[in-house]
Each structure stands twice: as structure tokens, then as C-alpha cells.
């Protein structure tokens, strides 16, 4: 499928959602899978329409460095990077059922290590939130999405993209490779194993070939399988965020 056709199809699916509150769309995937690019492309297609488009990223909800880097490992990356309670309180819950529709799209700037002080914005009743980021289909967030898209790319592909994209951020290709192999990829492997986002996404975009991605529809687990999954999370010792 040509990329432009895929983006238009996804935009049409999103617009087709008829809800009494803003439509909250998650674009999930591993690092460098192409989440942000896809989110921007969808937003650009939606923008000329009559509905308000709210563009946001999980990057606006980082934890401060002393929390997110207290364990410099894959486990630490998966567990400590983001403030999910702030994400729910400031963005997902206000845009959900019976929400105030008064929202903030960012609360923390990880580049300057400072809180973002800003007033709340107002969302129209039929607004569309497009939020991209890693780890969005973890169990404590799933109920907040009205549509979820998982962007799939294998780690060989994502590392190659990261080596090209992130050199300036980390200094050189060796530094990028070291960061991905020691922290990002292990954290993403843990996420894929523990949370199984492919099985909980509504749509999967296979994005190894950027110019010709294709769609898959995820198969949802049955009730017994989900109860087993929940039990495994409890035994892992991770406490869910109380996002309501």
C-alpha cells in the first residue's frame, strides 16, 4: 500500500468514530518505528476538516531525570520514564467520557528539565487527539484510548533509523548504538513481552518499508487470557497507575 493511501485510510477510520466526547487516538510503537512521522501525517490530513485536531506526544509527560534515570537499564526505561498519572489527569481524562474538555498537552520539558507552566486549553466536543509515544498500550492506559494504532518495525530497522536520526542528540553513531542496545531495545523487549501491545491495538501498521507500509487488524485476547496476563503483571511487582 502506498503511504499516502494508508494515511488517508487511517484518517478516515478516525473521522468515522462517532463519540459523545473527543476521540483519543494512541499511536504506539518501539523507538524509531515511525510513530511521530505517522502521527504528523495523519494530523495533516485531518487539519483541513471541520474538527479540532489536538497533537500531543508522550514526550511532554516525562518524569524528571532523577526519576527516569535512577536505574539506567531497560527495566528502568520501561518503568520510570513517564508520568502516566499526569498524562491521565491533564489530557486523557479531561477528553474522555464526562471529562471537562479542559486539557494540557504537556507538563514537563525533558530537554531543559523544567516543568511547563501553561494554562489549560479547551477542546471541542468532537475534537480528535493524536498522541504518539512509546509504551502507550500498557494496561493502565488502554481504557483511555478510543482508537489505538501500533506501528511495527523490527529492531534491525529501528536501530538503523536511530543511527541516522539520533547522532546529533547523542554525539555519534557509537553513542547511539550503546544507548539503544543497553537501554531502549531491552526496555522495548520487556514492554512487548509483558504488555503485548500488538494484541491490544485496534490497528497495526507494519512500517519496515517506510514507503510501502501495510495494515493489519489485531486479534484481541479472550477474557481468560487477559486475566492470566493481569496476574503476570501483579507477580512482576509493577503497580498500575490509578488513571481514572
Instruction: Say what the pLDDT of residue 168 is.
Output: 84
CATH number of 3-236: 3.40.50.300
pLDDT tens readout for residues 65-115: 999 999 999 999 999 999 999 999 999 999 999 999 999 999 999 999 999
Q: Give residue 233's pLDDT.
A: 44
Domain spans of the chain? 3-236
Q: Round the CA-based radius of gyration of the chain to a whole number and report it.
A: 18
**Contact (CB, 8 A) for 35 and 104:** no
What integer pLDDT is reported at residue 217 of this predicted model?
73
Nearest to 77 by CA among 182, 163, 151, 171: 182
Threshold 0.85, pTM exceeds: yes
* Nearest residue to 186 (alpha-carbon basis) of 69, 74, 70, 72: 74
pLDDT beneath 50, residues of the chain: 224, 227-240
- Cβ atoms of 41 and 132 within 8 Å: the answer is no
Is there a contact between 71 and 182 (Cβ–Cβ < 8 Å)?
no
User: Which of 1, 5, 75, 59 has the alpha carbon at shortest distance from 27?
Assistant: 59
Kindly state the cell numbers that stand for 217. Answer: 487488524
CA distance 10 to 8: 5
Amino acid at each position: 500500500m502506498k503511504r499516502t493511501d494508508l494515511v488517508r485510510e487511517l484518517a478516515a477510520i478516525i473521522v468515522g468514530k462517532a463519540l459523545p466526547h473527543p476521540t483519543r487516538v494512541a499511536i504506539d510503537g518501539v523507538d524509531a518505528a515511525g510513530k511521530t512521522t505517522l502521527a504528523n501525517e495523519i494530523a495533516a490530513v485531518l487539519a483541513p476538516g471541520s474538527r479540532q485536531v489536538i497533537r500531543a506526544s508522550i514526550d511532554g509527560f516525562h518524569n524528571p531525570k532523577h526519576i527516569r534515570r535512577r536505574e539506567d537499564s531497560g527495566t528502568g526505561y520501561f518503568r520510570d520514564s513517564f508520568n502516566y498519572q499526569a498524562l491521565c489527569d491533564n489530557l486523557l481524562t479531561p477528553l474522555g467520557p464526562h471529562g471537562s474538555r479542559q486539557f494540557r498537552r504537556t507538563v514537563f520539558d525533558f530537554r531543559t528539565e523544567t516543568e511547563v507552566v501553561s494554562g489549560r486549553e479547551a477542546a471541542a466536543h468532537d475534537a480528535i487527539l493524536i498522541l504518539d509515544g512509546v509504551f502507550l498500550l500498557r494496561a493502565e492506559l488502554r481504557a483511555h484510548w478510543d482508537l489505538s494504532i501500533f506501528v511495527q518495525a523490527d529492531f534491525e530497522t529501528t536501530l538503523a533509523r536511530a543511527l541516522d536520526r539520533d547522532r546529533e542528540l547523542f554525539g555519534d553513531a557509537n553513542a547511539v548504538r550503546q544507548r539503544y542496545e543497553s537501554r531502549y531495545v531491552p526496555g522495548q523487549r520487556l514492554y512487548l513481552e509483558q504488555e503485548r501491545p500488538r494484541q491490544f491495538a485496534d490497528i497495526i501498521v507494519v512500517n519496515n518499508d517506510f514507503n510501502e507500509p501495510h495494515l493489519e487488524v489485531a486479534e484481541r485476547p479472550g477474557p481468560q487470557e487477559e486475566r492470566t496476563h493481569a496476574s503476570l503483571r501483579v507477580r512482576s511487582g509493577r503497580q498500575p497507575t490509578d488513571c481514572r
